[in-house]
A and B are shown apart, each in its own frame.
Chain A
Amino acid sequence: MSGGLTTGGVAHAPSRTVRTVILGLIGVIFAVPIVAMVEFTLRAGLVGGYNVDRWVALFQSGFTGVYRPVLIALGNSVALAVGTVTIVLLLLVPTMLLVHIRFPQLRRTLEFICILPITIPAIVLVVGLAPVYAIVARLLGSGVWTLAFAYGITVLPFAYRAIQSNLDGVDVKTLTEAARTLGAGWGSVLLRILVPNLRRGILAGAFIAVAVVLGEFTIASLLNRVNLQTALVVVSKVDPYTAVILSLLALAFAFVLLLLIGRLGAPRTRTPRRRTTVKGPA
């Protein structure tokens, strides 16, 4: 993705056939639940047979009435995803770079702290977060967006690994030192050298953060906030068929969102530049 970290083909890459089979198998495994969901929404009552009545009814209603909260909840989740990604970009990335370049002896500690949330069940996390959020609510109000702080913690392990693997593959220290001897201050080093070379890892970290936030249920539910997943659960109690349709739509939405982020973050396309003839002393 980013310019030229690869040095050629992998020595023992599997053959084309093997790759197709592996990809096909994984595709099937992922497709089974989705196909099953689609099949479920198309069922025409208990007598058997299929129709698209429920899909038509949902779209004709214009997502009003009982479904309206789901749309609002979707908005909440997207806002939370943006907030979480912001935390990852503004807090985690600079911290990791600082530790990597200036305080390598802290690396193990940082890794431990970042991996820790994955070992703590969401329920336990909430028990700890509840009193914290009592204070947060007093200071910042009880807006849904405050959940981004909690999500910033839950996505740490995933974002950390994604960024760290990129960090390991780039000689950050030498590149930084080279840029500094060429007169670059720390800001230029970060924006012109490090971010472009770590784009892959940072993007992957952001992807995972978005995916985790859109799928999060436990913390939102236990802290009485509404997000996409809690809204879907509410709907499913009234109308399980429509809940599955909405889940499918949410899935498609997340897919498109990730695709968009990927597009935005892709390196600018490079066309081989024409060399201009230089005027002046030869």
Chain B
Amino acid sequence: MISSQPTAQTRPGTVVEFTGVVKEYAGMRALDGFDLTLHAGEFVALLGPSGSGKTTALRVLAGLESTDAGTITIDGVDVSALSTSKRDMGMVFQSYSLFPHLSAGENVEFGLRMRKIKPAERRRRAQDSLAMVGLNDHFDRFAHQLSGGQQQRVALARALVTEPRVLLLDEPLSALDAKVRVQLREEIRRIQTDLGITTLFVTHDQDEALAVADRVAVMRAGNVEQVGTPEELYSRPATPFIADFVGLSNRINGTVRNSHVDVYGTSLPLIDPSAPDGPVRVSIRPEDIEFAPEGLAATVVASHFLGSLRRTMVRLGDGSLVSVQHGVRVHPITGETVFLTFSGVPVSTEPASVAGGVPKLA
């Protein structure tokens, strides 16, 4: 596991620490010794395939699920025994969670009402909070009169109006359409930066996680597989699982020899130079393979135009398929013979015998 240095230690905020947290559901370990530290004011994304335990981690922090072992501390205080209503967290849910019988304003006021804030102040703060998410004109609207994006904005205002110690976001964007999703994630990030609130953001969408988070923790089978800045995860994936899950990767046969891996006659550096010698599967990003006048011969199978770039699938002499990313002006024709070279960036490997149960390139 590669761990990064704290990126936001000087900002005010709350420190959250998971230590060896275990959560079992009917014999299944949703969290299996889960460790993670959120530094003060940091925006951490929990990224992982479904069933990896990311939502469970967020729910045990919220107190919506109990833990079977381990501790969760907020600013050094163990909160494991504290009920949800006393943990002082703001949470935005995946499904629309506005109270249907209350107007947007009354929804935002709810948390303040529970804290026995006087009506005048309650109203002022609710209006300020709605203004923060750009909905100051929607105080009297009901949930069914708002679009999905607006509902999630109100939910965000509602979660933040009480000035909670931690903001929890449980895939808040996944029910929205693509354009609103991008808009809202930028806005969440802007508000989070302004407030300096420690935030845990659960998502299965790697673009989302890489775009907004200070650090991303990639989860697999109830554990953090790697945590680091988006750049670290992308350029130095600790395992082929990460390489595959964060961004796209080709899985190509190679052989490790003297801390380098030999791939079709090209020697590439390893991210983890301690890998033992022997046959391996190498993860190489499509943008780290280039077309060249000479090199490894391959036949073009298909080529896809993706707007700002083009991705071409080629078949090597031994039948394996490789995806190459390149500029849109190069336009390979199906059946054409091309030559490939590798750009020589460090790669991650796993023993060849391990069957890949991870998502493959489309």
Residues in A lying within 8 Å of B, measured CB to CB: 2-7, 170-171, 174-175, 177-185, 188, 192-193, 196-197, 267, 272-273, 275-276, 278-280
Contact = CB atoms under 8 A, between A and B. Distances in A.
Contacts of B101: 2-4, 196-197, 267
Q: A5, A180, A267: which has the most chain B beta carbons within 10 Å? A: A180
Contact of B64 (A175, A180, A184, A275): A180
A6 B143 CA distance: 11
A167 to B, nearest CB: 14
Contact of B127 (A174, A180, A278): A278
Nearest to B100: A4
B11 interface: no
B110 A179 contact: yes
B124 interface: yes
The 3 closest A-B pairs by CB, nearest first: A182-B111, A4-B144, A183-B114
A188 to B, nearest CB: 6
Given A4-B100, A182-B158, A183-B114, 10 more contacts: A3-B142, A6-B144, A174-B97, A175-B97, A180-B63, A181-B87, A183-B86, A183-B111, A188-B114, A275-B139
B224 interface: no
Interface in B278-293: none
A178 B99 contact: yes
Contacts of B124: 278-280
Interface of B: 62-64, 83-91, 93, 95-97, 99-103, 110-111, 114-115, 123-124, 127-128, 139-140, 142-145, 155, 158-159, 162, 168
A104 B143 CA distance: 27
B85 A185 contact: yes
A170 to B, nearest CB: 8
Contacts of B128: 278
Given A174-B97, A182-B114, A183-B115, A278 B123 contact: yes
Contacts of A188: 114
A182 B127 CA distance: 17
B142 A4 contact: yes
Contact of A178 (B87, B93, B123, B144): B93
Contact of A181 (B84, B102, B115, B123): B84
